[in-house]
Amino acid sequence: MELEAGKIVELHHEIKKKRPVIHCITNAVTVNDCANILLAAGASPTMAHHPLEVEEITEGAAALVCNLGAIADFEAMEKAGKKADEMGHAIVLDPVGISGSTYRRMQCQTLIKEIHPTCIRGNYSEIRALLKDCNTVTGVDASDKSVDVESMKQYAKAQKTILIASGAVDVITDGGEVFECRRGHEMMAHITGSGCMSSVMLGAFLGTEATIEAAAACCSFIGLCGEAAAEKTKECQGGTMTFRNVFIDEVSLMTPEKIYDRYQKK
């Protein structure tokens, strides 16, 4: 099923109202975009990575996002994750690259056992690698075009987490309910960091309300912004770099009226 537009509007308003602090331990390739998209949405990012400070920093945050693209910061993720779990904060785990790296997959499994993430979000290939515990592709890009929803449900139920497989259709499940998000645009797959930005935005939404509906709302919100950005990029005959900047612009410019209008179009 697909989430109703009203829930997206409600949570987007709450983020702007509360300005939740989102602690992001993410990779150097996308750290700037991740910080900027959170600011654009109305949240407040902090990107502390040092193991000696992350527990203190995450203690004052509403949510923690751990991105395995920053695998060198595993100790920091472990410490921050345990503190966030202890305090009942939302935790988002992005298993970047586990489809092509046995080491990352093993470390990902360790984090899942130790920090009990609220949500795990990856592309189809990464989620399949997690479910099957094996390499599925080389690199960080997705090659899989589908995902086994029943296996996702079983995994999410066993781990007591919200599991998201991002692709042409985002599949979101907590082991019981299943939401599908068909929003977005293919240009999102042609810029570095669209997945990382989605994960930190999940931190903002789940840090406001730790439910599967909030996770689905985030996926839809990101997709709607991607659609709007693609339209504006086409209008000005821009390419992927233009799209990247306009995408973050659209996050900052999104309104309830635009959300409802786009929902009526599809």
**Structure-token match 């790296």, residue found:** 101
Residue 144: what pLDDT?
A: 58
Of 185, 227, 193, nearest in space to 34 by CA = 193
> Which CATH number do you get for residue 167?
3.40.1190.20
The answer to whether the annotation marks 47 as part of a ligand binding site is: yes
- Which helix H or strand E contains 212, and what residues bound it? helix 212-235
pLDDT recorded at residue 266: 64
The count of structural domains within the chain is 1
Q: Is 195 annotated as a binding residue?
A: no
Round the CA-based radius of gyration of the chain to a whole number and report it.
17
* Predicted local distance difference test score (pLDDT) of residue 3: 84
Q: Is 151 annotated as a binding residue?
A: no
Query: What is the C-alpha to C-alpha distance for residues 31 and 232, in angstroms, rounded to an integer?
Result: 25
Task: Round to whole Å and give the CA distance between 52 and 189.
Answer: 35
pLDDT block averages, 10 residues each, the chain of length 266: 90 97 96 97 97 97 97 97 98 95 95 98 95 70 73 97 96 97 93 94 98 98 96 96 96 96 80
What confidence score (pLDDT) does residue 137 get?
61
> Is residue 74 a contact partner of residue 95, using CB atoms and an 8 Å limit?
no
Structure confidence at residue 66 (pLDDT): 98
Helix or strand or coil: residue 93? strand
Q: What is the pLDDT of residue 133?
A: 84
pLDDT of residue 140: 47
Domain membership of residue 197 as a residue range: 5-265
